């Protein structure tokens, strides 16, 4: 079948031969990632209506795609970890017996490429050849997937050359089938380094290098091999002396990673010479370096970012990044000038616009309470854009050695309880702080929005094994990192009694990062509280902000009663995670409760 295959790797050829026989395409195409090949695929997608070429003067090489209306977000309820036993997947994951899962999925996939083309995408997560990086191959029948993967990962035959005859690569089979919700499955088989995704065409469900590989499979690999795969942005802060310190931050989906990763420092900081550099906006792979520090790479090559709310004030860098070579998914299509629009881009809601469902949009019907049905852009509409087009991309982005991490920051979307920022007492307590994270749900996953749920390390939908074992892995890693990063928790989303955010957020989050780095360098004191070290209000720089020290005081307050309520909720969550929750975490929980009750 593969007389002219670009590899002789027997495991690659055997797997592909087997899967191609199963899905039975009319044609097979190897993706080499060349501009010529990709341009031809763009043209083909436009000829069939799968994509629309946008205004090439205003948005060069940009395209619009609409997914099926029933297929607009990750589907956690239909995502499965197919490990040998249910216990290994643990109670926070859906589990299916691997043999049963393969049988069911093969049945759905059988002949599903008939009349279609099979695209073979060899890709690398991380710079090709870096000791951090891992190879993958995705077999798909979707040009949209090919074009997104070319942006989001490093695609090309050099990946195969680098792989040689090794079996250390991740198998990914994607079949669009009928986009039937009832038969939609996103299945990970950690013991086989395999992912099978059927009946979806949406982002995180089908760009298999992203959440499926770089988090669910990679978290398993990291546990075995002694490293970490995390749902974290990576940014560098350059001080006026030109020194750059790196921070990783884990926030749940649609809770501000892309925004923080590309932040523009407030004028007060910019004037002094502070700069922020983006290394990654969603995923970090972390390893212990020879110097005993924790080092991180961003395994991705682009950004699959939330469009709504992105504008030239909230995130000018993201907006600039999307001005060329970008695929927009499920945003509004402005017919007058063949551009795109989304809620929060500007105040000029277009009259002549097609909404994300492909219908004529009536802007006068917009209803904040029913965004899905009345918006031009779906609340989880996205842009797929090249990292290298980001004005603040770090010069270390491609560095195979990664960057050394000074601080890890956890954060959630909490209207109450969690203060603006606090620091943990150390790695062990910091791991505990990560394990008790909670956040209000967002449109990034199908289901109710705005419900508080526990989301440890922002990884609840992405840990590819038992959550209790994952907590243990965090604790174990602490013993392997002599110069471990300090661990913090932030919350940009506290609200007042009218439900308005109190903290200005976005670029002004720099003020909090400033305190965090000062803590890392022992340059500022803090108040020891029951939950950790909290800043003195005077130490949060509010120069140029229209906000009082009293308000900062308020944002930093720790209300013992609501924390004790949270403790009860944490106990219930730990009980749900079950008996694999490390005893150390229970000790930390007990200690927290005691400190709060004092």
Of 9 and 315, the one with the shorter C-beta distance to ligand GTP is 315
- Footprint on this chain of ligand SPV (rule: CB under 6 A): 74, 203-204, 210-211, 253, 282, 304, 444
**Least separation, in Å, of the C-beta of 258 and Mn ion?**
8
Residues 6+ apart with CB under 8 A from 190: 81, 82, 83, 216, 217, 220, 464, 465
Q: Identify the bridge partners of residue 189 per DSSP, sorted by sequence position.
A: 194
Q: Total residues contacting ligand GTP (rule CB under 6 A)?
A: 22
- Contact call for residue 305 and ligand GTP (CB under 6 A): yes
Q: Which does 176 bind (CB under 5 to 8 A by kind): Mn ion, ligand GTP, ligand SPV, none?
A: none
| 47: three-class secondary structure by DSSP | helix
Which secondary-structure segment (H or E) carries 181? none
Please give the helix or strand (H or E) that residue 595 lies within, else none: helix 583-597
Q: How far is CA 174 from the centre of its chain?
A: 20
Is 177 an active-site residue?
no
In this chain, which stretch among 92-100, 289-297, 301-309, 547-555 interacts with ligand GTP, using CB under 6 A? 301-309
Residue 258 binds which one of ligand GTP, Mn ion, ligand SPV, none, with CB within 5 to 8 A depending on kind? ligand GTP
Nearer to ligand GTP, 137 or 276 (CB): 276
- From the list ligand GTP, ligand SPV, Mn ion, none, pick the one residue 211 interacts with, judged by a Cβ distance below 5 to 8 Å according to partner type: ligand SPV
Q: Among ligand GTP, Mn ion, ligand SPV, none, what binds residue 501 when CB lies within 5 to 8 Å by partner kind? A: ligand GTP
Asked if residue 452 lies in contact with residue 524, where contact means CB atoms within 8 angstroms, the answer is no
Q: Toward ligand SPV, which CB reaches closer, 65 or 210?
A: 210
| Residue 506 sits in the site that holds ligand GTP (CB under 6 A) | yes
Q: Which residues bind Mn ion (CB under 5 A)?
A: 253, 282
Please identify, among the stretches 150-158, 302-310, 396-404, 537-545, the one whose residues bind ligand GTP according to the rule CB under 6 A. Answer: 302-310
Q: Which is nearer to ligand GTP, 3 or 451 (CB)?
A: 451
Which is closer to ligand SPV, CB of 210 or CB of 519?
Answer: 210
Smallest distance, Mn ion to C-beta of residue 109, A: 27
The closest residue (CB) to Mn ion is 282
Percent helix, strand, coil in the chain, to 5, is 35, 25, 45
Residues in 365-404 that interact with ligand GTP by CB under 6 A? none
Q: Phi first, then psi: give them for residue 460, nearest 5 degrees.
A: -50, -45
Q: How many residues can be counted in the chain?
A: 598
340: which residues sit within 8 A by CB, 6+ positions away? Answer: 54, 59, 62, 64, 328, 331, 332, 333, 334
Say if residues 106 and 125 touch (Cβ distance below 8 Å): no
Among 253, 424, 472, 541, indicate the residue that binds ligand GTP (CB under 6 A).
253
Should residue 251 be labelled a site residue for ligand GTP when binding is judged by CB under 6 A?
A: yes
Instruction: Indicate whether 259 belongs to the interface with ligand GTP (CB under 6 A).
Output: yes
Burial pattern 434-464, b for ≥16 Cβ within 10 A else e, equals bbbbbbbbbbbbbeeeeebbbbbbbbbbbbb
Shortest Å distance, C-beta 438 to Mn ion: 17
Measure the CA–CA gap between 74 and 443, rounded to whole angstroms: 9
Is residue 213 a contact partner of residue 404, using CB atoms and an 8 Å limit?
no
Q: Are 411 and 430 in contact (CB under 8 A)?
A: no
Distance from C-alpha of 349 to C-alpha of 345, rounded to nearest angstrom: 9
Of 22, 159, 248, 254, the residue at the interface with ligand GTP (CB under 6 A) is 254
Q: Residue 484 gets which letter from DSSP?
A: P
Determine which one of 248, 255, 278, 353 is catalytic. 255
Which of 101, 244, 444, 581 forms a contact with ligand GTP (CB under 6 A)?
444
Pick one of 282, 343, 440, 469: the residue that binds ligand GTP (CB under 6 A): 282
What separation, in Å, do the N-terminal and C-terminal C-alpha atoms of the chain show? 72
Contact range with ligand GTP by CB under 6 A, out of 20-28, 97-105, 501-509, 543-551:
501-509
Residue 54's SS3 state is coil
Alpha-carbon distance 303 to 280, whole Å? Answer: 8
Q: Name the closest residue to ligand GTP (Cβ).
A: 505
Closest separation in Å from C-beta 255 to ligand GTP: 5
| Residues whose CB is less than 8 angstroms from the CB of residue 357 and which lie 6 or more positions away in sequence, other chains included | 66, 69
Binding-site partner at residue 204 among Mn ion, ligand GTP, ligand SPV, none, CB < 5 to 8 Å by type? ligand SPV
Structural tokens at position 104: 């069911």
Instruction: Give min distance, CB of 4 to ligand GTP, in A.
Output: 38
Judged by CB under 6 A, the residue of 122, 136, 256, 350 near ligand GTP is 256
501 binds ligand GTP (CB under 6 A): yes
Residue 297, C-beta contacts closer than 8 angstroms, at least 6 positions apart: 126, 127, 130, 132, 133, 279, 280, 284, 285, 399, 400, 402, 403
| Pairing label, strands 294-297, 284-288 | antiparallel
Which run of H or E residues covers position 511? helix 510-520
Closest approach, Cβ 233 to Mn ion, in A, equals 9
- Residue, CB closest to ligand SPV: 204
Residue 255 interacts, among Mn ion, ligand SPV, ligand GTP, none and using kind-specific CB cut-offs from 5 to 8 Å, with ligand GTP
Minimum separation from the CB atom of position 144 to ligand SPV (A): 14
Residue 203's binding partner, choosing from ligand SPV, ligand GTP, Mn ion, none, with beta-carbon cut-off 5 to 8 A by kind?
A: ligand SPV
**Tokens, residue 556:** 């930093």
Q: What is the largest CA-CA distance in the chain?
A: 74
Q: Which string of x and - marks every residue 468-497 that binds ligand GTP (by CB under 6 A)?
A: ------------------------xx----
Q: Please, what is the minimum distance in Å from the beta carbon of residue 444 to ligand SPV?
A: 4
| Least Cβ distance, residue 19 to Mn ion (angstroms) | 28
Residues that bind ligand GTP (CB under 6 A): 251, 253-259, 281-282, 305-306, 308-309, 314, 444, 492-493, 501, 505-506, 509
Catalytic positions, please? 255
């Amino acid at each position: 079948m593969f007389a002219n295959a670009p590899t002789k790797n027997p495991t690659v050829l055997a797997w592909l031969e087997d899967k191609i026989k199963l899905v039975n395409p009319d044609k097979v195409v190897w993706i080499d990632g060349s501009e010529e090949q990709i341009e031809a695929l763009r043209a083909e997608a436009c000829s069939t209506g799968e994509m629309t070429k946008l205004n090439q003067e205003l948005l060069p090489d940009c395209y619009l795609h609409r997914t099926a209306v029933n297929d607009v977000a990750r589907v956690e309820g239909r995502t499965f970890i197919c490990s040998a036993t249910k216990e290994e997947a643990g109670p926070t994951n859906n589990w299916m017996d691997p043999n049963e899962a393969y049988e069911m999925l093969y049945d759905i996939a059988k002949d599903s490429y008939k009349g279609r083309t099979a695209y073979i995408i060899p890709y690398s997560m991380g710079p090709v050849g870096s000791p951090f990086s891992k190879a993958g191959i995705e077999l798909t029948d979707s040009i949209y997937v090919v074009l997104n993967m070319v942006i989001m990962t490093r695609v090309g035959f050099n990946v195969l050359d680098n792989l040689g005859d090794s079996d250390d690569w991740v198998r990914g089979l994607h079949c669009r089938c009928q986009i039937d919700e009832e038969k939609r499955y996103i299945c990970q088989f950690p013991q086989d380094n395999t992912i099978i995704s059927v009946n979806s065409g949406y982002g995180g469900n089908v760009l298999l290098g992203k959440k499926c590989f770089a988090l669910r499979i990679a978290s398993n690999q990291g546990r075995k091999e002694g490293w970490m795969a995390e749902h974290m942005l990576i940014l560098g802060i350059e001080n006026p002396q030109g020194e750059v310190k790196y921070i990783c931050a884990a926030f749940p989906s649609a809770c501000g990673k892309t925004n923080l990763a590309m932040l523009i420092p407030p004028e007060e900081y910019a004037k002094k010479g502070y700069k922020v550099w983006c290394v990654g906006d969603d995923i970090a792979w972390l390893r212990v370096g020879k110097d005993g520090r924790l080092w991180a790479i961003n395994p991705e090559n682009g950004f699959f970012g939330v469009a709504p709310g992105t504008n030239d004030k909230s995130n000018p860098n993201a907006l600039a990044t999307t001005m060329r070579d970008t695929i927009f998914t499920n945003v509004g299509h402005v017919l007058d000038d063949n551009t795109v629009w989304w809620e929060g881009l500007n105040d000029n809601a277009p009259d002549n616009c097609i909404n994300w469902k492909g219908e004529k949009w009536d802007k006068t019907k917009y209803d904040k309470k029913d965004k899905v049905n009345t918006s031009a852009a779906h609340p989880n509409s996205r842009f797929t854009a090249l990292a290298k087009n980001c004005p603040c991309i770090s010069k270390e982005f491609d560095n195979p050695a990664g960057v050394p991490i000074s601080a890890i920051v956890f954060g959630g979307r909490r209207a109450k309880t969690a203060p603006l920022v606090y620091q943990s007492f150390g790695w062990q307590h910091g791991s505990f702080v990560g394990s008790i994270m909670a956040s209000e749900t967002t449109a990034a996953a199908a289901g109710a929005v705005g419900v508080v749920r526990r989301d440890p390390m922002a990884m609840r939908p992405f840990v590819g094994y038992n959550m209790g074992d994952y907590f243990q892995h965090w604790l174990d890693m602490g013993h392997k990192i002599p110069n471990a990063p300090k661990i913090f928790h932030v919350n940009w989303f506290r609200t007042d009694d009218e439900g308005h955010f109190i903290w200005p957020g976005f670029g002004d989050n720099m003020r909090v990062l400033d305190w965090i780095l000062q803590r890392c360098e022992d340059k500022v004191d803090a108040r020891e509280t029951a939950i950790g070290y909290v800043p003195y209000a005077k130490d949060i720089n509010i120069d140029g902000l229209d906000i009082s020290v009293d308000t900062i005081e308020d944002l930093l307050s720790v209300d013992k009663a609501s924390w004790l309520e949270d403790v009860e909720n944490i106990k219930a969550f730990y009980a749900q995670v079950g008996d694999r929750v490390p005893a150390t975490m229970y000790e930390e929980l007990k200690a927290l409760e005691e400190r709060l009750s004092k």
